[in-house]
Amino acid sequence: MDKYNLTEADVKKLNTKKGLRALLAKEPYNVAKALRYIDYERKLKKLQIELVKLQTWAINNNERIIIVFEGRDAAGKGGAIRRITERINPRHVRIIALPKPTEEEKTQWYFQRYVKQFPRAGQMVFFDRSWYNRAVVEPVNGFCTEEEYKTFMNQVNDFERMITESGIILVKIYMSISKSEQAERFADIKSDPLKHWKMTDVDERAQELWDVYTKYKKLMFKNTENGGIPFKVIKANRKTIARVNAIKHILSSIPYDKNLKI
């Protein structure tokens, strides 16, 4: 072990069930990576305790919370949401990832099908992609008209103002990855038979349309300068760091009782 320049604290970390599992998970063994993962697991547990406090506070005070996750394909939105919700009470949380609209929904006000998913008292709702599909994914892929896009951009800030003025807490997170990282994740998805289902036709075009996505992403961010609610951009090339930072942002954005005993 001396060749790794390990401290006594490092050895203690590795000499645990989690430490050995992290060390032996892949070959060749990567001690530095195993130590990082152990530290991540410890940070995550502490943050998840705070999330339980947050949820308990929300239930006790009939709070309604919406947390929107946006970002490029394979940016880690779903993984972050799973880590956030895995320890809290599932009866008071919902994860929404809507499919493409039905023919009936296409005739409705655009925001209508999202409003149907809004939280009741004491509930947290996570959107794994949200109404912001119309800000980026739809115009990039030709799923909406230019007029529909402009109407959305004109309405979205007022829509979110109505949400927050009604007493709902709204948190918006954008997971940001590099083009090369997205390519690596797509390759991993394609090579893993347990992940094939994640790859869609839209994903297949994401690398080719990278610059177009960038254009509309910047327009989406700029639109919030006109009285909108800004996104918190989370750098997500390292999934573990991104998950920790996303949880930290949620905890810092919601005025829950940090001294609550659970």
Secondary structure element (H or E) that encloses residue 4, with its range? none
Question: Rounded CA gap, 217 and 26, in Å?
Answer: 36
What is the structure's pLDDT at 5? Answer: 74
Q: Crossing angle for the helix pair 77-85 and 239-253, nearest 10 degrees?
A: 60
pLDDT-derived band at 37 (thresholds 50, 70, 90) equals confident
- What is the rounded average pLDDT of the residues 161-182? 98
Is residue 207 within 8 Å of 186, Cβ to Cβ?
Answer: yes
pLDDT at 18 over 80: no
What is the structure's pLDDT at 215? Answer: 98
What is the structure's pLDDT at 91? Answer: 98
- What is the rounded average pLDDT of the residues 250-261? 96
CA distances from 78 to 84, 121, 127, 172 (A): 10, 24, 10, 14
pLDDT-derived band at 126 (thresholds 50, 70, 90) equals very high
Domain ranges of the chain: 63-253
| CATH number for domain 63-253, candidates 3.40.50.300, 2.40.50.100, 1.20.1740.10, 3.40.50.150 | 3.40.50.300
% of the chain at pLDDT higher than 90: 84
Backbone conformation region of residue 129, classed left if phi is above 0, alpha if psi is from -120 to 50, else beta: left
Global pTM value? 0.89
Question: Rounded CA gap, 240 and 211, in Å?
Answer: 26
Q: Crossing angle for the helix pair 210-223 and 146-165, nearest 10 degrees?
A: 40
